Structure 1
């Protein structure tokens, strides 16, 4: 049996911070390091799937996801949603060096179902427990069928029931944040939300029937990644620098310290700035990459210097993730 892959979520309940783009680029950099990566598009908006696959392919996947030959994440969880059996195992899609479990807009329906299942889990009902672990079980099955080193869950910008089970299935999570006022303010509730989820998962585990499938329930805060800040020459602008200082303080006060109250191993020490990389604003270059469905260093056009800079930034991020997760698992 293959070793359990490291499961990560790049998560922030604030929208517009570049979660999907960051996920794709870290995954692409990990692939260049020789790591096998499974991307799970668990956002009903399907942004990750739309980034990597052509529009007609995405349309075809969504049109057939209800049928027996469907190949999206909705196809996999539909039997549980319909209360007709366990989750269906589907084969992921190869996209270059990456492996993708395609998303589906109908995950929004499953998210409502997961809210009820979470309540049922507190009542020791096996149906509820099977529902909240269904995506985790699907990932486990895929990882048994083929070697996977890293799993990335792509999440929507909310604190809903779907993101709850994804975070609680993750070994680590990374917080992307934009250098603006609204992103800084949003951090005030992030840690408390995660703390509540972890405590609830512990309660469910303590009362669950013997042999029931459970979520790991111990996501470690790997660090944060500021994005889209302005650089002139080699220097970060004064405004961006001001926000970076605020973000650093909020990350410790509102995320790391809150999680360390539960378990000191869940977040870096107070003396450590948990920033794991900084992604400057690549503006039009990133837009070209998104349009072409590739990593920014592989997109067409000029900008050779910017492409080289982007590749270096993401390769350093990926190397840090490999080193850190290897030492903590």
Structure 2
């Protein structure tokens, strides 16, 4: 049985996707699950949260570049990472026309947690995916191999580490990279801010997901050649998580509440495609996470999740109580998401 995959996505870069992926991954490990986190955002934000700068340099700079800059290549086997382990490396043979997707191995972050690292070079794959999407609709085998590259890469990595759950971080747009990434997901979880940007993102996202799913399932899947693993493109909407903003004097509570009240209807109408949704149906609201701004910098400096901060990390006095609240909220959210994933 393959591990269920969840893409965290909204067409709004204010929604905190990467922070949510990072903390959910760590919490799910605490709940005794093997977790594979996948960074398919060309900005590689998740990778920068999970690895330190020297490790990222080892991944992104090949030995010839290091030598040219007067640096020595990293000794093979030293540290957690080695060359050719990013998602950009995986798709490079397709991009350069030299072969199929390279099934790279994930990086071990801690017992039970692995990462398929991202790279800024992944942005080069956007045009190739866009052009080959049209070819895959026509049944072209090369186009189908391109479009299924992320799926096959993630499928291999999850099996290699015996993952129980896969969390996929994607960028805030509706481009070709995200189309291929979301086609590979069993479910889509949407972090939202209670503002106009998130609501507008939802109204664009829902119809687009349904169009992608229809084209893949009805047009492409029947033409996939034997021997190519292709995703079913379920992309089942799992629900949404409200990322509560910091309340400021120039953004009163009333403005937040006004947008918050509109989310259930917009989600049901745009994402689920319901014809007459109830305006106050919040069944798809999984949780609301408070603003943890006071903990974020400490967590960044300590290179650990907010709920793992200790006194030695600077979490003193009332801040330590805030850490405990953060732990309870993320634990409850992770349990809810794991239950929804198992109920699919």
TM-score using structure 1 length: 0.89
Displacement after TM superposition at 1:25 (Å):
1.0
Displacement after TM superposition at 1:89 (Å):
2.0
Displacement after TM superposition at 1:181 (Å):
2.4
Q: 1:208 to 1:71 in 2, by over 3 A?
A: closer
**Where does residue 77 of structure 1 map in the other structure?**
91
299-308 or 11-20, which deviates more: 299-308
Question: Within 5 Å, which residues of 2 pair with 1:272-283?
Answer: 273-283=283-293
**Where does residue 264 of structure 1 map in the other structure?**
none
Larger Rg: 2
Partner Cα distance (1:222, 1:7) in 2: 11
1:248 aligns with 2:248: no
Which sections of structure 1, spanning at least 5 residues, go unmatched? 262-269
1:89 aligns with 2:87: no
Q: 1:66 to 1:196 in 2, by over 3 A?
A: farther
3-12 or 205-214, which deviates more: 205-214
After superposition, the C-alpha distances for 1:289-312 in whole angstroms (9 at most, x for unaligned) are 234331111232221111111111
Secondary structure of 2:120's counterpart equals coil
Question: Within 5 Å, which residues of 2 pair with 1:51-66?
Answer: 51-64=49-62
Displacement after TM superposition at 1:143 (Å):
2.4
Displacement after TM superposition at 1:113 (Å):
0.8
Across the aligned residues of Structure 1 and Structure 2, the Cα RMSD in angstroms comes to: 2.4
TM-score using structure 2 length: 0.85
Conserved? CA contact 1:65–1:72, under 8 Å: no
Conserved? CA contact 2:5–2:185, under 8 Å: yes
Q: 1:276 to 1:30 in 2, by over 3 A?
A: same
Displacement after TM superposition at 1:150 (Å):
0.8
Displacement after TM superposition at 1:100 (Å):
0.5
38-47 or 56-65, which deviates more: 56-65
Q: 1:145 to 1:271 in 2, by over 3 A?
A: same
After superposition, the C-alpha distances for 1:204-238 in whole angstroms (9 at most, x for unaligned) are 11334455432211111100001033579xxx944
**Where does residue 75 of structure 2 map in the other structure?**
none
Conserved? CA contact 1:36–1:147, under 8 Å: yes
Question: Within 5 Å, which residues of 2 pair with 1:123-272?
Answer: 123-202=138-217, 203-230=219-246, 237-257=253-273
**Where does residue 265 of structure 1 map in the other structure?**
none
Q: 1:182 to 1:271 in 2, by over 3 A?
A: closer
Partner Cα distance (2:107, 2:227) in 1: 32
Partner Cα distance (1:140, 1:180) in 2: 35
Q: 1:295 to 1:149 in 2, by over 3 A?
A: same
1:293 aligns with 2:303: yes
Displacement after TM superposition at 1:186 (Å):
2.3
Displacement after TM superposition at 1:87 (Å):
1.5
Displacement after TM superposition at 1:103 (Å):
0.5
Conserved? CA contact 2:28–2:334, under 8 Å: yes
Q: 2:29 aligns with which of 31, 34, 46?
A: 31
Partner Cα distance (2:270, 2:92) in 1: 37
Conserved? CA contact 2:105–2:160, under 8 Å: no
